[in-house]
Amino acid sequence: MEQKDEKKTIEEIFTEALFKFSIKCLRKYELFNLKDNFAFSPYNLYKGLLLAYLTSSGVIEENLKEILFLTEVSEKCDLIDTVNFDKSFVTEMTAEENASASAAACDYESKSMCFIEKSKLSENPSQINEIFNGGFVNLDDDTNANINRINEEIQCQTENFHNPQKLSALNGNMDIALMTVLRFSNQKFLSIGYQSDASSASTDPDKRMFKCSFHKKLHMLIGEFPYKDGNTSLFVLAPCSFDTDNKWKVIPNHVAISDMINLLSTKEGMLELRKVLDHQTSLGRVNNFSYWPVFKLEKNFNARRLMRAIDCQQLLTSDAVDLDSSFAKDGHKVHFGNVVHRTHVKVTKEATVAGAMTVITGQSSLPNSSVVVDVQSKYPFVWLIYDKQHRNILFIGVCNEFD
Protein backbone atom coordinates (compact mmCIF):
# COMPACT_ATOMS: atom_id res chain seq x y z
CA MET A 1 0.00 0.00 0.00
CA GLU A 2 2.80 2.44 0.86
CA GLN A 3 4.50 1.70 -2.43
CA LYS A 4 1.29 2.56 -4.30
CA ASP A 5 0.99 5.91 -2.49
CA GLU A 6 4.58 6.81 -3.43
CA LYS A 7 3.73 6.34 -7.11
CA LYS A 8 0.81 8.76 -7.03
CA THR A 9 1.28 11.69 -9.35
CA ILE A 10 0.76 15.26 -8.19
CA GLU A 11 -2.33 15.34 -10.38
CA GLU A 12 -3.80 12.27 -8.66
CA ILE A 13 -3.05 13.65 -5.20
CA PHE A 14 -4.57 17.02 -6.06
CA THR A 15 -7.69 15.51 -7.62
CA GLU A 16 -8.32 13.23 -4.63
CA ALA A 17 -7.64 16.08 -2.22
CA LEU A 18 -10.14 18.41 -3.90
CA PHE A 19 -12.80 15.69 -3.92
CA LYS A 20 -12.30 14.89 -0.21
CA PHE A 21 -12.42 18.60 0.60
CA SER A 22 -15.67 18.99 -1.38
CA ILE A 23 -17.54 16.23 0.44
CA LYS A 24 -16.11 17.14 3.84
CA CYS A 25 -17.27 20.75 3.45
CA LEU A 26 -20.71 19.59 2.29
CA ARG A 27 -21.09 17.45 5.40
CA LYS A 28 -19.74 20.06 7.81
CA TYR A 29 -21.89 22.86 6.41
CA GLU A 30 -25.01 20.72 6.27
CA LEU A 31 -24.69 19.94 9.99
CA PHE A 32 -25.58 23.53 10.90
CA ASN A 33 -28.01 23.99 7.98
CA LEU A 34 -30.12 20.87 8.40
CA LYS A 35 -33.32 22.32 6.93
CA ASP A 36 -31.89 25.09 4.80
CA ASN A 37 -31.13 25.57 1.11
CA PHE A 38 -27.51 26.39 0.38
CA ALA A 39 -24.97 26.39 -2.42
CA PHE A 40 -21.23 26.83 -2.63
CA SER A 41 -18.31 26.06 -4.93
CA PRO A 42 -15.83 23.65 -3.33
CA TYR A 43 -13.59 24.11 -6.37
CA ASN A 44 -13.52 27.89 -5.95
CA LEU A 45 -13.19 27.77 -2.16
CA TYR A 46 -10.38 25.22 -2.40
CA LYS A 47 -8.55 27.38 -4.94
CA GLY A 48 -8.83 30.35 -2.58
CA LEU A 49 -7.37 28.41 0.34
CA LEU A 50 -4.71 27.02 -1.98
CA LEU A 51 -3.65 30.59 -2.81
CA ALA A 52 -3.26 31.28 0.92
CA TYR A 53 -1.23 28.08 1.33
CA LEU A 54 1.11 28.81 -1.59
CA THR A 55 1.78 32.43 -0.54
CA SER A 56 2.21 31.86 3.22
CA SER A 57 4.81 30.12 5.35
CA GLY A 58 5.20 28.80 8.89
CA VAL A 59 2.42 27.44 11.07
CA ILE A 60 -0.48 28.62 8.90
CA GLU A 61 1.16 27.02 5.86
CA GLU A 62 1.36 23.65 7.62
CA ASN A 63 -2.21 24.01 8.87
CA LEU A 64 -3.55 24.69 5.38
CA LYS A 65 -1.53 21.83 3.93
CA GLU A 66 -3.42 19.38 6.17
CA ILE A 67 -6.81 20.99 5.59
CA LEU A 68 -6.28 20.81 1.82
CA PHE A 69 -5.20 17.13 2.04
CA LEU A 70 -1.81 17.91 0.47
CA THR A 71 0.50 16.30 3.01
CA GLU A 72 1.72 13.86 0.35
CA VAL A 73 3.13 16.74 -1.70
CA SER A 74 6.57 17.62 -0.36
CA GLU A 75 7.28 20.79 -2.34
CA LYS A 76 5.02 23.71 -3.24
CA CYS A 77 6.82 24.15 -6.52
CA ASP A 78 5.60 20.71 -7.60
CA LEU A 79 2.01 21.90 -7.20
CA ILE A 80 2.64 25.18 -9.00
CA ASP A 81 4.31 23.37 -11.89
CA THR A 82 1.44 20.88 -12.18
CA VAL A 83 -1.72 22.87 -11.53
CA ASN A 84 -2.93 25.10 -14.33
CA PHE A 85 -4.83 27.83 -12.51
CA ASP A 86 -6.77 28.79 -15.63
CA LYS A 87 -8.50 25.41 -15.52
CA SER A 88 -6.96 22.41 -13.82
CA PHE A 89 -3.89 20.38 -14.75
CA VAL A 90 -1.08 20.66 -17.23
CA THR A 91 -1.01 17.32 -19.02
CA GLU A 92 0.87 16.00 -21.99
CA MET A 93 -1.51 15.26 -24.88
CA THR A 94 -1.11 13.82 -28.32
CA ALA A 95 -2.01 16.02 -31.28
CA GLU A 96 -5.29 14.14 -31.66
CA GLU A 97 -6.17 14.55 -27.98
CA ASN A 98 -5.25 18.22 -28.09
CA ALA A 99 -7.50 18.79 -31.10
CA SER A 100 -10.35 17.01 -29.35
CA ALA A 101 -9.88 19.08 -26.22
CA SER A 102 -9.89 22.29 -28.26
CA ALA A 103 -13.06 21.24 -30.05
CA ALA A 104 -14.95 21.02 -26.76
CA ALA A 105 -16.19 24.40 -25.64
CA CYS A 106 -14.77 25.79 -22.42
CA ASP A 107 -17.46 25.00 -19.86
CA TYR A 108 -16.05 27.33 -17.22
CA GLU A 109 -13.18 29.65 -16.41
CA SER A 110 -11.30 30.35 -13.21
CA LYS A 111 -9.46 33.56 -12.38
CA SER A 112 -7.16 34.38 -9.44
CA MET A 113 -5.99 37.85 -8.41
CA CYS A 114 -3.77 39.29 -5.68
CA PHE A 115 -4.09 42.74 -4.13
CA ILE A 116 -0.88 43.66 -2.27
CA GLU A 117 1.65 46.45 -1.76
CA LYS A 118 4.18 46.26 -4.56
CA SER A 119 7.06 46.82 -2.14
CA LYS A 120 6.34 43.50 -0.43
CA LEU A 121 6.61 41.37 -3.55
CA SER A 122 9.69 39.31 -4.28
CA GLU A 123 11.99 40.83 -6.86
CA ASN A 124 11.66 37.68 -8.95
CA PRO A 125 8.28 36.03 -8.23
CA SER A 126 8.22 34.26 -11.60
CA GLN A 127 6.93 30.96 -10.26
CA ILE A 128 4.28 32.41 -7.96
CA ASN A 129 3.03 34.58 -10.86
CA GLU A 130 1.66 31.42 -12.45
CA ILE A 131 -1.06 31.08 -9.83
CA PHE A 132 -2.41 34.63 -10.31
CA ASN A 133 -3.66 34.49 -13.89
CA GLY A 134 -5.77 37.60 -13.18
CA GLY A 135 -2.67 39.56 -12.19
CA PHE A 136 -1.62 41.76 -9.27
CA VAL A 137 -3.22 45.01 -8.13
CA ASN A 138 -1.05 47.38 -6.12
CA LEU A 139 -2.44 48.60 -2.78
CA ASP A 140 -1.46 51.92 -1.21
CA ASP A 141 -1.72 53.60 2.20
CA ASP A 142 -5.38 54.56 1.85
CA THR A 143 -7.41 51.69 3.33
CA ASN A 144 -10.77 52.97 2.08
CA ALA A 145 -9.42 53.43 -1.43
CA ASN A 146 -8.04 49.89 -1.36
CA ILE A 147 -11.37 48.46 -0.25
CA ASN A 148 -13.23 50.41 -2.93
CA ARG A 149 -10.80 49.10 -5.55
CA ILE A 150 -11.36 45.50 -4.45
CA ASN A 151 -15.14 45.95 -4.29
CA GLU A 152 -15.10 47.36 -7.82
CA GLU A 153 -13.26 44.28 -8.99
CA ILE A 154 -15.68 41.99 -7.13
CA GLN A 155 -18.61 43.76 -8.80
CA CYS A 156 -16.96 43.42 -12.20
CA GLN A 157 -16.18 39.72 -11.78
CA THR A 158 -19.63 38.81 -10.41
CA GLU A 159 -21.92 40.71 -12.78
CA ASN A 160 -24.51 37.89 -12.90
CA PHE A 161 -24.93 37.91 -9.12
CA HIS A 162 -28.02 39.40 -7.54
CA ASN A 163 -26.17 40.84 -4.56
CA PRO A 164 -22.40 40.17 -4.56
CA GLN A 165 -20.50 40.27 -1.28
CA LYS A 166 -18.60 43.44 -0.35
CA LEU A 167 -15.78 44.28 2.04
CA SER A 168 -16.15 46.96 4.69
CA ALA A 169 -13.64 49.23 6.39
CA LEU A 170 -13.94 48.02 9.98
CA ASN A 171 -10.20 47.83 10.72
CA GLY A 172 -6.88 48.89 9.29
CA ASN A 173 -5.57 45.48 8.22
CA MET A 174 -5.78 46.00 4.50
CA ASP A 175 -2.37 44.81 3.35
CA ILE A 176 -3.39 41.84 1.16
CA ALA A 177 -6.40 40.28 -0.50
CA LEU A 178 -6.49 37.02 -2.45
CA MET A 179 -9.44 36.61 -4.78
CA THR A 180 -10.53 33.74 -6.98
CA VAL A 181 -13.58 33.72 -9.26
CA LEU A 182 -15.27 30.83 -11.05
CA ARG A 183 -17.69 31.31 -13.96
CA PHE A 184 -19.99 28.70 -15.47
CA SER A 185 -22.05 30.70 -17.93
CA ASN A 186 -25.28 29.69 -19.66
CA GLN A 187 -24.47 26.03 -20.21
CA LYS A 188 -27.35 24.30 -22.02
CA PHE A 189 -28.52 20.78 -21.25
CA LEU A 190 -28.50 18.08 -23.88
CA SER A 191 -31.90 17.23 -25.29
CA ILE A 192 -31.16 14.10 -27.32
CA GLY A 193 -32.98 11.41 -25.41
CA TYR A 194 -33.48 9.49 -22.22
CA GLN A 195 -31.34 6.63 -21.01
CA SER A 196 -32.49 4.60 -18.02
CA ASP A 197 -29.56 2.18 -17.80
CA ALA A 198 -26.59 4.19 -16.61
CA SER A 199 -24.26 1.18 -16.65
CA SER A 200 -24.34 1.14 -20.45
CA ALA A 201 -23.72 4.85 -20.83
CA SER A 202 -21.39 5.96 -23.56
CA THR A 203 -18.44 8.13 -22.57
CA ASP A 204 -18.57 9.87 -25.96
CA PRO A 205 -19.61 13.50 -25.15
CA ASP A 206 -21.71 13.63 -28.34
CA LYS A 207 -23.74 10.57 -27.30
CA ARG A 208 -24.41 11.44 -23.69
CA MET A 209 -28.02 11.39 -22.52
CA PHE A 210 -30.07 12.16 -19.47
CA LYS A 211 -29.84 9.16 -17.16
CA CYS A 212 -31.81 8.16 -14.11
CA SER A 213 -30.68 5.26 -11.92
CA PHE A 214 -30.31 4.18 -8.32
CA HIS A 215 -27.48 3.04 -6.07
CA LYS A 216 -28.81 0.58 -3.53
CA LYS A 217 -25.77 0.63 -1.23
CA LEU A 218 -25.91 4.42 -0.97
CA HIS A 219 -29.76 4.44 -0.72
CA MET A 220 -29.79 7.06 -3.44
CA LEU A 221 -31.61 8.00 -6.64
CA ILE A 222 -29.28 9.56 -9.23
CA GLY A 223 -30.22 11.84 -12.08
CA GLU A 224 -27.52 13.00 -14.49
CA PHE A 225 -28.11 15.94 -16.83
CA PRO A 226 -25.20 16.43 -19.26
CA TYR A 227 -24.43 19.83 -20.75
CA LYS A 228 -23.83 20.39 -24.44
CA ASP A 229 -20.38 20.84 -25.96
CA GLY A 230 -18.33 19.83 -22.98
CA ASN A 231 -17.52 17.37 -20.25
CA THR A 232 -19.70 18.64 -17.42
CA SER A 233 -22.95 17.31 -15.99
CA LEU A 234 -25.43 18.31 -13.33
CA PHE A 235 -26.13 15.45 -10.91
CA VAL A 236 -29.17 15.28 -8.66
CA LEU A 237 -29.03 12.90 -5.68
CA ALA A 238 -32.12 12.04 -3.66
CA PRO A 239 -32.45 9.64 -0.68
CA CYS A 240 -34.40 6.43 -1.41
CA SER A 241 -35.72 3.40 0.39
CA PHE A 242 -35.98 -0.11 -1.09
CA ASP A 243 -38.28 -3.01 -0.31
CA THR A 244 -37.61 -6.74 -0.69
CA ASP A 245 -38.58 -6.61 -4.38
CA ASN A 246 -36.03 -3.87 -5.06
CA LYS A 247 -38.77 -1.31 -5.53
CA TRP A 248 -37.54 2.15 -4.65
CA LYS A 249 -39.22 5.21 -3.19
CA VAL A 250 -37.84 8.70 -2.66
CA ILE A 251 -37.86 9.74 1.01
CA PRO A 252 -39.13 13.34 1.20
CA ASN A 253 -37.70 14.55 4.50
CA HIS A 254 -34.69 16.43 5.88
CA VAL A 255 -33.44 13.57 8.06
CA ALA A 256 -33.05 11.32 5.01
CA ILE A 257 -31.00 14.00 3.21
CA SER A 258 -28.76 14.37 6.26
CA ASP A 259 -28.31 10.60 6.53
CA MET A 260 -27.44 10.36 2.84
CA ILE A 261 -24.82 13.12 3.11
CA ASN A 262 -23.35 11.47 6.18
CA LEU A 263 -23.04 8.21 4.25
CA LEU A 264 -21.41 9.97 1.30
CA SER A 265 -18.85 11.56 3.62
CA THR A 266 -17.49 8.19 4.76
CA LYS A 267 -14.44 6.74 3.03
CA GLU A 268 -16.55 4.05 1.35
CA GLY A 269 -19.27 6.55 0.46
CA MET A 270 -16.81 8.91 -1.25
CA LEU A 271 -15.32 6.01 -3.19
CA GLU A 272 -18.76 4.88 -4.40
CA LEU A 273 -19.84 8.41 -5.28
CA ARG A 274 -16.68 8.91 -7.31
CA LYS A 275 -17.46 5.73 -9.26
CA VAL A 276 -20.99 7.00 -9.94
CA LEU A 277 -19.76 10.36 -11.22
CA ASP A 278 -17.11 8.72 -13.40
CA HIS A 279 -19.44 5.99 -14.77
CA GLN A 280 -17.28 3.27 -13.21
CA THR A 281 -20.01 1.24 -11.55
CA SER A 282 -23.22 -0.56 -12.50
CA LEU A 283 -26.40 1.11 -11.30
CA GLY A 284 -30.00 0.01 -10.96
CA ARG A 285 -32.40 0.86 -13.75
CA VAL A 286 -35.10 3.48 -13.30
CA ASN A 287 -37.77 3.74 -15.99
CA ASN A 288 -39.91 6.74 -16.91
CA PHE A 289 -38.82 8.98 -14.07
CA SER A 290 -37.29 12.37 -14.79
CA TYR A 291 -36.11 14.22 -11.74
CA TRP A 292 -35.76 17.61 -13.41
CA PRO A 293 -34.18 20.17 -11.09
CA VAL A 294 -35.40 23.77 -11.28
CA PHE A 295 -33.97 26.16 -8.71
CA LYS A 296 -32.26 29.49 -8.14
CA LEU A 297 -30.06 30.22 -5.13
CA GLU A 298 -27.90 33.08 -3.94
CA LYS A 299 -27.63 33.79 -0.24
CA ASN A 300 -25.11 34.34 2.52
CA PHE A 301 -22.64 31.50 2.85
CA ASN A 302 -21.15 31.38 6.34
CA ALA A 303 -17.56 30.77 5.32
CA ARG A 304 -16.25 31.75 8.76
CA ARG A 305 -18.32 29.06 10.42
CA LEU A 306 -17.20 26.50 7.87
CA MET A 307 -13.54 27.45 8.41
CA ARG A 308 -13.95 26.71 12.11
CA ALA A 309 -15.70 23.42 11.34
CA ILE A 310 -12.77 22.23 9.18
CA ASP A 311 -10.19 23.44 11.76
CA CYS A 312 -9.03 26.42 9.72
CA GLN A 313 -9.37 28.98 12.51
CA GLN A 314 -5.92 30.44 11.85
CA LEU A 315 -7.21 32.16 8.72
CA LEU A 316 -9.72 33.97 10.93
CA THR A 317 -7.26 35.47 13.42
CA SER A 318 -5.89 38.99 13.15
CA ASP A 319 -2.32 37.85 13.83
CA ALA A 320 0.21 38.69 11.13
CA VAL A 321 1.47 35.74 9.11
CA ASP A 322 4.74 35.26 7.28
CA LEU A 323 4.75 35.27 3.49
CA ASP A 324 6.57 32.63 1.48
CA SER A 325 10.02 33.78 0.34
CA SER A 326 9.22 32.90 -3.28
CA PHE A 327 6.29 35.31 -3.12
CA ALA A 328 7.50 38.21 -0.97
CA LYS A 329 10.69 39.76 0.31
CA ASP A 330 12.15 38.20 3.45
CA GLY A 331 10.57 39.24 6.72
CA HIS A 332 7.32 40.64 5.35
CA LYS A 333 4.09 39.73 7.12
CA VAL A 334 0.44 40.28 6.24
CA HIS A 335 -2.94 39.91 7.92
CA PHE A 336 -5.60 37.53 6.69
CA GLY A 337 -8.36 37.15 9.28
CA ASN A 338 -11.40 36.62 7.08
CA VAL A 339 -12.73 34.34 4.36
CA VAL A 340 -15.68 35.46 2.23
CA HIS A 341 -17.45 33.16 -0.22
CA ARG A 342 -20.59 33.59 -2.27
CA THR A 343 -22.20 31.46 -4.98
CA HIS A 344 -24.93 32.28 -7.47
CA VAL A 345 -26.69 29.47 -9.34
CA LYS A 346 -29.74 29.38 -11.60
CA VAL A 347 -30.89 26.05 -13.05
CA THR A 348 -33.81 25.73 -15.45
CA LYS A 349 -34.81 22.85 -17.72
CA GLU A 350 -32.87 24.49 -20.55
CA ALA A 351 -29.63 25.80 -19.08
CA THR A 352 -27.51 26.66 -16.04
CA VAL A 353 -25.77 29.88 -15.05
CA ALA A 354 -23.49 29.68 -12.02
CA GLY A 355 -20.64 31.62 -10.50
CA ALA A 356 -18.62 31.76 -7.30
CA MET A 357 -16.20 34.12 -5.60
CA THR A 358 -13.82 33.68 -2.68
CA VAL A 359 -11.87 36.53 -1.05
CA ILE A 360 -9.30 36.00 1.72
CA THR A 361 -8.21 39.21 3.43
CA GLY A 362 -7.98 41.03 6.72
CA GLN A 363 -11.24 42.92 6.19
CA SER A 364 -14.71 42.03 7.45
CA SER A 365 -17.64 41.60 5.08
CA LEU A 366 -20.92 43.48 5.00
CA PRO A 367 -23.96 41.32 5.78
CA ASN A 368 -26.30 40.92 2.82
CA SER A 369 -29.97 41.05 3.76
CA SER A 370 -31.41 40.24 0.34
CA VAL A 371 -31.29 36.65 -0.85
CA VAL A 372 -32.57 34.67 -3.82
CA VAL A 373 -34.23 31.33 -3.09
CA ASP A 374 -36.56 29.68 -5.60
CA VAL A 375 -36.78 25.89 -5.48
CA GLN A 376 -39.36 23.91 -7.44
CA SER A 377 -39.29 20.29 -6.31
CA LYS A 378 -41.42 17.54 -4.80
CA TYR A 379 -38.40 16.13 -2.97
CA PRO A 380 -35.33 17.41 -1.15
CA PHE A 381 -32.10 16.68 -3.00
CA VAL A 382 -28.36 17.22 -3.19
CA TRP A 383 -27.10 18.60 -6.48
CA LEU A 384 -23.63 19.05 -7.91
CA ILE A 385 -21.99 20.17 -11.14
CA TYR A 386 -19.15 17.83 -12.04
CA ASP A 387 -16.28 18.22 -14.50
CA LYS A 388 -15.77 14.72 -15.86
CA GLN A 389 -12.53 15.48 -17.66
CA HIS A 390 -10.69 16.84 -14.62
CA ARG A 391 -12.87 14.99 -12.08
CA ASN A 392 -13.69 18.10 -10.04
CA ILE A 393 -16.89 19.10 -8.24
CA LEU A 394 -17.36 22.70 -9.37
CA PHE A 395 -20.56 23.54 -7.47
CA ILE A 396 -22.58 21.69 -4.86
CA GLY A 397 -25.59 22.35 -2.66
CA VAL A 398 -28.76 21.13 -0.99
CA CYS A 399 -32.34 22.03 -1.87
CA ASN A 400 -34.39 21.25 1.22
CA GLU A 401 -37.56 23.06 0.23
CA PHE A 402 -40.20 20.91 -1.46
CA ASP A 403 -43.94 20.79 -2.09
Task: Name the percent of the chain lying above pLDDT 70.
Answer: 84
Task: Name the residue type at position 315.
Answer: L
**Burial classification of residue 124, based on how many CB atoms lie within 10 Å of its CB (0-12 exposed, 13-18 middle, 19 or more buried):** exposed
Q: What is the mean pLDDT of residues 98-124?
A: 71
Stated as kind and residue range, the H or E segment containing 210 is: strand 210-215
Confidence of residue 309 (pLDDT cuts 50, 70, 90): very high
Question: 303, 324 in Cβ contact below 8 A?
Answer: no
The per-residue pLDDT for 265 is 96
Confidence of residue 165 (pLDDT cuts 50, 70, 90): confident
Q: Say which range, 193-207, 258-272, 278-292, 315-329, has the weakest mean pLDDT.
A: 193-207
Q: What is the mean pLDDT of residues 352-372?
A: 84
The per-residue pLDDT for 177 is 92
Confidence of residue 202 (pLDDT cuts 50, 70, 90): very low
Stated as kind and residue range, the H or E segment containing 365 is: strand 364-365
Domains along the chain with CATH numbers: 2-183+300-345 (3.30.497.10)
Strands (E), 227-290: 232-242, 248-250, 284-285
The per-residue pLDDT for 189 is 87
Cα 47 from Cα 103, distance rounded (Å): 26
Q: What is the mean pLDDT of residues 363-386?
A: 84
Q: What is the mean pLDDT of residues 293-305?
A: 91
Q: What is the mean pLDDT of residues 380-385?
A: 94
The per-residue pLDDT for 391 is 92
Question: 103, 230 in Cβ contact below 8 A?
Answer: no
Buried/exposed code over 275-288 (b: 16+ C-beta within 10 A; e: otherwise)? ebbebebebbebee
The per-residue pLDDT for 364 is 75
Question: 197, 213 in Cβ contact below 8 A?
Answer: yes
Confidence of residue 146 (pLDDT cuts 50, 70, 90): confident
Could you tell me the pTM of the whole model? 0.89
Q: Given a cut of 70, is residue 197 above it in pLDDT?
A: no
The per-residue pLDDT for 97 is 43
Average pLDDT, the chain: 83
Question: 47, 180 in Cβ contact below 8 A?
Answer: yes
Q: What is the mean pLDDT of residues 251-260?
A: 91
Confidence of residue 203 (pLDDT cuts 50, 70, 90): very low
